[in-house]
A and B are shown apart, each in its own frame.
Chain A
Amino acid sequence: MKILILFLAAIVIFTAGCPQQGEPRVNVREGVASDTLASNIVTRPVVHAFSVLVGEGIVVNNATAKRNEAGLLEVQVNGVNKSYDTRRFRYRMEWLDETGGLIETKTSVWLPMSAMGKQPFSFKVVAPRPEAVNFRMDTRKWEN
């Protein structure tokens, strides 16, 4: 039994111990890339179960706003899906004027977004009115 455990441990260390640090802008997915702890046939269930257990999900790292050439506020939202599964969600952007008042617009609707497991994602939203100076964004689960 001890030998078997040692053997499995050796395989795990051998297959996943030295992850290749490649070009960060190029993503090589599971099944194409070399095995990691998360993709190895032996360790994968444990790692994925742990991810589910701690409740990993979407994290928005930052949202940058700038005025585009047309004078409209343009917001880029950057985030990462920390879970191993594809996360589908909806977001709604609301625009605020300089007094903090809500600008009512037909474009403030729930829009779909999808991020693959353990992958970064970005999307851009443009304010439909020039008086928009700030924003607030909300998210919710994507209904079936």
Chain B
Amino acid sequence: MKKITVSLLAAMLAMFIAGCEPQTSNIDVTNDQGKAVMALDYRDFDQAASKMVQSMLASGALKKQGGGRYIVATSRITNDTMQRIDIDQLMAKIEQELLNSGQVVMTSAVGAQDSTDPLVQDARKLRDSEEFDQNTVAAKKTLLAPELSITGKIFQKNISYDKGMQQVEYYFELKVADLKSGLRLWQNETLIGKRGSSKSVAW
């Protein structure tokens, strides 16, 4: 009898502990109503990318005079925050939308290290190889130079807001420059601000 009681109590205790554990669930990424976090999350990146793309397209800076599409290279995007941010992830959203807008084409031949495709150069090293049909190897002077470049940075400011509170400001800056003339055609800054407990870690 005593054994049964102990077993029952142990089972109830186990169920109680298991019940208190938060359950894992998938995030509804299209309608996420989860609480904000002090660090940058995917919603912040979506928001910043959307605002940047809209500003860029609305400005008309990417509309090539006389028709055609600009060739755009992604230059260096600096991460000056305390977080380890995958800049490619942010730029992929922006590049994808710019490509789909029909106004520009992106180049993988030149640009910041992560925006280039090493095979563009590697494929040209096959010119002397007897293993390859030379008619299928890229000839000299076939690469097109970029006309515009996108550069920018993300930086963070931590401000002590009140007793036990902090304010974290994240700035997303992007610039588009004409590579021939060096003139800047467009630039935009998007701010995402957060206020919360100073115990929350913003990285």
Contact = CB atoms under 8 A, between A and B. Distances in A.
A70 B57 contact: yes
Given A70-B63, A143-B36, A109 B50 contact: yes
A44 interface: no
A144 B50 CA distance: 21
- Interface range, A side: 20 to 34
Interface stretch (A24-32, A54-62, A79-87, A121-129): A121-129
A72 B35 contact: no
A68 B63 CA distance: 11
A130 B62 CA distance: 13
Nearest to B102: A130
Interface string A102-136: 00011111111000000000001110111000000
Q: Chain B interface secondary structure, helix, strand, loop or mixed?
A: helix
B188 interface: no
Interface stretch (B92-100, B130-138, B155-163): B92-100
Contacts of A130: 101-102
Interface in B76-117: 93, 96-97, 100-103
Interface residues of B, number: 25
B34 A69 contact: no
Q: Which of B49, B57, B103 is most buried by chain A, counting CB atoms within 10 A of its CB? A: B57
A69 B43 CA distance: 30
A128 B35 contact: no
A129 B60 contact: no
Interface of B: 31, 33-36, 43, 46-47, 49-51, 53-54, 57-58, 60, 62-63, 93, 96-97, 100-103
Interface of A: 68-72, 74, 105-112, 124-126, 128-130, 140, 143-144
